[in-house]
Each structure stands twice: as C-alpha cells, then as structure tokens.
C-alpha cells in the first residue's frame, strides 16, 4: 500500500482542485435516495423506523421500542466499567466548563440616543435533536459535544437520536454519556430515517426545531432535503484533517496524528502538508509500522484514505505555500507540528479548530480538551464556526423609545417611509399619531 504523495508546485490547476474535494461534495445520488425514506417515515412513523433499522442497521428494534427506557439507562451504567464512567464524567466536565464560559450575556440594552434604547435578549431554541452516529463505531464523545451545550444553553427539550445496534439497543456508553449530560430522551433511529423522524415527528419521536451533530452523506443529504422543516444546523459530514508541519517537526510523530482522522472511515480525508521533504519521508516510512498496531478494520479505513485521492502527504516548496493550501482547504481539524506552532496562528484563517504543537493531538481535542469537536466540514470553515452554545440559542432584539426619543427619531422614519412608498409607515409617525393620542 503506497501512501499518496503530491508535490504541490508540480500539480496543474485541476489536480490542485482535486485535492480540495471531499466525499460530502457530491450529494446528488444521496439526495435522490433519501426522499422515499423521508416520505415513508412521514407517512408510517415508528413502523418505518423499525423497518429501516432492519434494512440499514441489521437491527431487531421493534416499532414499540424506539425510545430508550429508564431501565436501559440503568442497565448501561451497570454494564460499563466504573473507571470508564469516571472518564466520561471527567471529559464531560471539561466540555461543560468550556461551554458555560461560552454563554453570552442573557440580556443587554443600551441608550443609543436620549430616550432611545436598543438591545437583545437570548432565548434557547425550544427543541433540538442531537445526532450521534454509530455505523463505524460508538461515539459517546459526540453525545458530550452535542448534548452538553444543549443543556448548558437551556434547551427545554434536547433529544438524542442514534442508530440501534444489531440487538436493538443503544450503545451503553452513549446512554451513560447522555445521562451525565442531562438528557434522558434517547431514540433508536439513525441515518436519513432518523433525520426524518425529528423533522416530522412520529408516534414516539418528538418533532424538533433543529438537528445538530455529524453524520454520513445519507444524514447530510436528509438534512438538506428537510431544511424547510428542520434547521439542519452547522454542516458536519465525514471526518477530515490536516497536519501542518514545518522543518522543525518530527515526521514520525506527525504520522501518528495523521492516522487519527483517517481511521474514521473510507469517506474521511486526511493530509500531512509540509514544506520539509525529510518530514514527509519520515512520516511515510513510519505509517506501515503504525498500521501493524491497529485493527484490521481501522487499517482498511485508514489505508483507503491515505492511499487514495483524499489523503496522503502534500509537499510544498515553502511553509507559506503550505499555509495557503490550508486556508483554501479550510479543514475540520488542523494540528500544527512545529517547535514554534504559535507563530503560525495568525496566518491561519480557515479551520474548524487549530491545535497547536506536537502535544495537542486531534484525539485530545475530540475527547478531553473542552472546546467542541463537532466542527464544520467540506470547506464550510470558510464561513462557519464549531458547534457551541450559540447553536442552541437565538437572539431577540429589544427596543424602547420614550416620548423624547420618539420626537428625535420620528422625522427620520417618516421621510424613509415616504421615500419607500409605505403610507401606513408614514402615517404612524406623523401628526396622525399625535391626534390619535389626543382623541383618547
């Protein structure tokens, strides 16, 4: 298995553009295939969820057992090692601390002019579904990253949807993490059918106003199709990462970190981008040995990515060229390997997260650090932010004008209304208002 290697300066424009592509980029086939799934869930509810669980997840979940029960939660706690429960509690506490610090001021108002007050207040979204994938593993970390900020933000009805396992049950660590987060509503439905369930509601699954969390192209496509009924939240598709390394980096350590996101699945993307041929060669030489320390499935995923068109090693002629590529790619995860990693921070404009230094691997960010690891994918880091409490909140504008303030603002509003041709607008700030008050 040969690691894909690209000398960036030697590529033509089409080849450079190909390096920027992700599996999420072409949703055409998925958009067509999710529509009948969505319609079935809309029309049949829980029965369709049970049928699709058998078809897509190989699960025996019954239509009357879509919701996880209190007994399921208790059984999950009993089945997990106490040390692992403590790990979930520790990691969850770090995530909770970060998102509490992220909470904005609940309300503010300022006097813009004498007698003219304007401000905002913050309100939590009434219901949000947290999507927790399972197809390529179990992800209690995604529970922490999606459910904890929902609870911190004060969402009255946060729910979790996740694909059931072959036995018809929810992964035990997912249930434990959910209860630690403060969420007890967990439903056994994933994929496009899960998105449809929270968009339309079923006999068991409540309709939600928004959905957040990472998922497969099926999930992403369903979110897009259902965007008129359900806020699809920030984009979060298949995993992607860039390891940016200069000549001071250790290639073998960089290779360890390159493997992290590549093992998520064959639809992931992962590059080592470096201006040092020595670092590139050391990393490429180290990877086969690291694969020997991984399971067969994870090696299959990782090798598909790193030996394919959406992963490998990119050698640039300068660190500036490497940084320019990073900014154009706008990766979900970016880790900088350098003795002076902080020196590059100002030059990086587009990334879901920036992890500085060789002791800040992506897995630390995914599990333990505290900032949210649900990050914008498919180059949406050009305009979007990591998941956070702000995704569970909405702002409501506030205004209050006294009579003194009205006398100041009314002439300006009246003239604008006249120019734009709105008669009622103009009348409401004319002498007609004064006469209406006088008439009592």
Domain 28-105+125-236 has CATH 3.90.850.10: no
| pLDDT interval class at 440 (50, 70, 90) | confident
Least confident of 137-141, 363-367, 372-376: 137-141
Given 6, 8, 200, 333, which residue is catalytic? 333
Category of 201 on φ-ψ map: left (φ > 0), alpha (ψ -120 to 50) or beta: left
Domain 5-22+242-370 has CATH 3.40.50.1980: yes
* % of the chain exceeding 90 in pLDDT: 93
Least confident of 166-170, 243-247, 392-396: 166-170
> Active site includes 333?
yes
Domain ranges of the chain: 5-22+242-370, 28-105+125-236, 402-439
> Active site includes 89?
no
Please report the pLDDT score of residue 273 as a whole number: 98
Please report the pLDDT score of residue 1 as a whole number: 81
pLDDT in tens, 298-323: 999 999 999 999 999 999 999 999 99
Range 281-304 average pLDDT: 97
Element (H, E) at 110: strand 107-113
**CA–CA distance, 281 with 251 (Å, rounded to integer):** 8
For residue 118, what are its two tokens?
Answer: 């304007």
Strand ranges, E, within 296-440: 311-315, 333-337, 353-356, 393-401
| pLDDT interval class at 190 (50, 70, 90) | very high
**CA–CA distance, 314 with 271 (Å, rounded to integer):** 7
* pLDDT at residue 25 greater than cutoff 70: no
Number of Cβ within a 10 Å radius of residue 18: 13
Domain 5-22+242-370 and domain 28-105+125-236 have a common topology: yes
* pLDDT at residue 136 greater than cutoff 80: no
pLDDT in tens, 57-107: 999 999 999 999 999 999 999 999 999 999 999 999 999 999 999 999 999
pLDDT in tens, 107-121: 999 999 999 999 999
Please report the pLDDT score of residue 137 as a whole number: 67
Q: How many CA atoms lie within 13 A of 91 on its CB side?
A: 24
**CA–CA distance, 363 with 112 (Å, rounded to integer):** 47
Burial 309-338 (b: 16+ CB within 10 A, else e): ebbbbbbbeebebbbebbbebbbbbbbbbb
| pLDDT interval class at 279 (50, 70, 90) | very high
Closest listed residue to residue 107, CA positions, set 119, 118, 115, 99: 119
**CA–CA distance, 91 with 93 (Å, rounded to integer):** 5
Owner of token pair 């706008």: 330
Per-residue DSSP letter, 108:
E
pLDDT in tens, 231-261: 999 888 789 999 999 999 999 999 999 999 9
- Average pLDDT score, the chain: 96
Given 240, 261, 332, 358, which residue is catalytic? 332
* pLDDT at residue 182 greater than cutoff 70: yes
* pLDDT at residue 437 greater than cutoff 90: yes
* % of the chain exceeding 70 in pLDDT: 99
Please report the pLDDT score of residue 234 as a whole number: 86
Please report the pLDDT score of residue 321 as a whole number: 98
**CA–CA distance, 49 with 62 (Å, rounded to integer):** 9
Please report the pLDDT score of residue 138 as a whole number: 83
Dihedral of CA atoms 78, 84, 86, 89 in degrees, nearest 10, equals -90
Owner of token pair 């669980």: 53
pLDDT in tens, 12-21: 999 999 999 9
User: 383-389 contacts: CB < 8 A, separation 24 or more?
Assistant: 384/234, 384/235, 385/234, 386/234, 386/352, 386/353, 387/145, 387/146, 387/149, 387/212, 387/213, 387/233, 387/234, 387/236, 388/99, 388/102, 388/149, 389/99, 389/102, 389/103, 389/104, 389/149, 389/152, 389/153
Instruction: Label the pairing between strands 240-245 and 333-337.
Output: parallel
Please report the pLDDT score of residue 217 as a whole number: 86
Range 380-386 average pLDDT: 96
């Amino acid at each position: 298995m040969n690691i894909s290697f690209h000398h960036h300066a030697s590529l033509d424009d089409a080849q450079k553009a190909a390096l920027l592509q992700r599996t999420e980029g072409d949703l055409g086939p998925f958009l067509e295939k999710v529509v009948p799934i969505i319609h079935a869930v809309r029309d049949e509810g829980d029965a369709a969820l049970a049928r699709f669980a058998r078809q897509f997840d190989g699960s025996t979940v019954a239509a009357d057992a879509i919701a996880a029960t209190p007994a399921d939660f208790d059984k999950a706690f009993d089945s997990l090692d106490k040390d692992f429960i403590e790990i979930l509690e520790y990691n969850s506490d770090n995530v909770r601390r970060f998102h509490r610090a992220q909470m904005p001021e609940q309300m503010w108002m300022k006097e813009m002019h004498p007698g003219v007050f304007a401000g905002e207040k913050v309100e939590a979204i009434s219901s949000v579904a947290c999507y927790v994938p399972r197809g390529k593993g179990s992800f209690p970390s995604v529970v922490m990253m999606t459910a904890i900020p929902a609870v911190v933000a004060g969402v009255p009805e946060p729910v979790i949807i996740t694909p059931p396992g072959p036995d018809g049950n929810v992964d035990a660590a997912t249930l434990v993490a959910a209860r630690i987060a403060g969420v007890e509503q967990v439903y056994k439905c994933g994929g496009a059918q899960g998105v449809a369930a929270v968009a339309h509601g079923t006999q068991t699954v409540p309709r939600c106003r928004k959905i957040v969390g990472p998922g497969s192209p099926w999930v992403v496509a369903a979110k897009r199709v259902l965007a008129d009924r359900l806020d699809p939240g920030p984009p979060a598709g298949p995993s992607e990462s860039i390891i940016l390394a200069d000549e001071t980096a250790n290639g073998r350590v960089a290779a360890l970190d390159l493997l992290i996101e590549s093992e998520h699945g064959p639809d992931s993307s992962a590059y080592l981008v470096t201006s040092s041929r020595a670092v590139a060669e050391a990393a490429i030489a180290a990877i086969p040995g690291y694969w020997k320390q991984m399971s067969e499935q994870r090696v299959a995923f990782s090798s598909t990515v790193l030996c394919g068109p959406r992963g490998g090693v990119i050698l640039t002629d300068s660190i500036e060229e490497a940084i320019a590529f990073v900014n154009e790619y706008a990766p979900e995860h970016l880790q900088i390997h350098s003795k002076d990693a902080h020196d590059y921070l100002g030059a990086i404009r587009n990334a879901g997260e920036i992890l500085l230094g060789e002791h800040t691997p992506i897995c630390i960010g995914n599990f333990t650090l505290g900032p949210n690891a649900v990050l914008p994918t498919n180059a949406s880091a050009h305009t979007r932010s990591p998941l956070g409490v702000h995704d569970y909140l909405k702002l409501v504008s506030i205004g209050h004008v006294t009579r003194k303030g009205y006398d100041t603002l009314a002439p300006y509003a009246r003239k604008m209304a006249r120019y734009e041709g709105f008669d009622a607008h103009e009348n409401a700030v004319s002498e007609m208002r004064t006469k209406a008050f006088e008439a009592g």
